[in-house]
Amino acid sequence: MLVTYPEAAHWPIDPDRLDLVEEFRRQPRGPHGDELQKLLHRLRWAGDPDQPGRYVLIVTQPGKEWMLGRLPRQRGRPIELMRNHVFTSIAEAEWEVFKLRWEAVTGRTLPPHLSEKLV
């Protein structure tokens, strides 16, 4: 059986590379440079191992509004809806998820100028 392993992505993330964070904030939907692509691959592939499930968006109004949720790794378990995290653009949602993941994987809080919402 051919299996895909969530722990396969292991590009080393340097917590000092805030330039990559800034690059992502400028263009959450890309295009991205080589190193940011590798960083994003690691975060997206691993799927939030520190959380009870992968961060996902639930469409609340098609094309207009999305809610953050956590998708459990076990089938049959309900998706957790995070009702106070609602976004009106995909870019804004991508940035919020990126920040959560960056802080989880580096163990560091982002400096104030990088922790705000996307405008």
Partner 1 sequence: MTDTTSILGYAWPMVVSPGEEVAFHLSSPSVSKADAAVVRVRCGDPDPAGPGIRAHEMAAPFERTVSLVHQVIRPGSCAIVADAPALTSFQSFTVGAFLWPTMPGDRAQTILSRWREDTQEGWRLGLDADGHLEFVVAAGGRTWRVVTGAALLSREWVLAGASWDAEAGRLAVMVRSADAQAGRDRSECVEAPGPTGLEWPAAVPLVIAAQASDGGGELFDGFYDGKIDRPRLHASVQPIDGLHRLCESMNFPMTDARLIAAWDFSRGMAGESVTDLSAHHLHGRVRQMPTRGMTGANWDGSTDRWTDCPEQYGAIHFHSDDMADAEWEPTLRFTVPAEWRSGFYALRLRADTGDEPVESFVAFFVRAELGKPRSRLAFVASTGTFLAYANSALRLDQVHAEAMLEGVLTLSRDDVYIQEHREVGLSTYDTHADGSGWSISSARRPILNMRPRGNVFNYGNDTHFIDWLEETGQDYDVITDDDIHRHGVQVLAPYTCVVTGSHPEYISREVWEAFDAYQRSGGRHMYLGGNGFYWRIAYHPTVPHTIEMRRGMTGLRTWEGEAGETALAFTGEPSSTWRSNGRPPQRLVGVGFDGQVFTHSSPYRWLDGAKDPVLSWLTAGIDLAAPLGDFGLRGNGAAGVEIDRVDWSLGSPPGTVWLATADRLGYGGTPAPEEIRTLHRGVMGDQNAQVRADLVYFPTANGGAVFSTGSIAWVCALSHAGYRNNVSQLTGNVLKRFLDPAPL
Which residues contact partner 1 by CB under 8 A? 1-6, 9, 29-31, 37, 41, 44-45, 47, 54-64, 66, 69, 71-72, 75-79, 90, 93-94, 97
Q: Which is nearer to partner 1, 59 or 116 (CB)?
A: 59
Q: Measured from the CB of residue 39, what is the shortest distance to partner 1 in angstroms?
A: 12
Given the complex with partner 1, which of 18 and 72 has the nearer CB atom?
Answer: 72
Give the nearest distance from C-beta 17 to partner 1 in angstroms.
19
Please tell me the distance from the alpha carbon of residue 92 to that of residue 114, in angstroms, as a whole number: 13
61 vs 109 by CB, closer to partner 1: 61
The answer, yes or no, to whether the previous bond of 52 is cis (omega within 30 of 0) is no
Residue closest to 102 by CA, chosen among 94, 92, 30, 56: 94
34: Cα separation from own chain's centroid: 18
- Phi, psi (deg, nearest 5) at residue 36: -65, -35
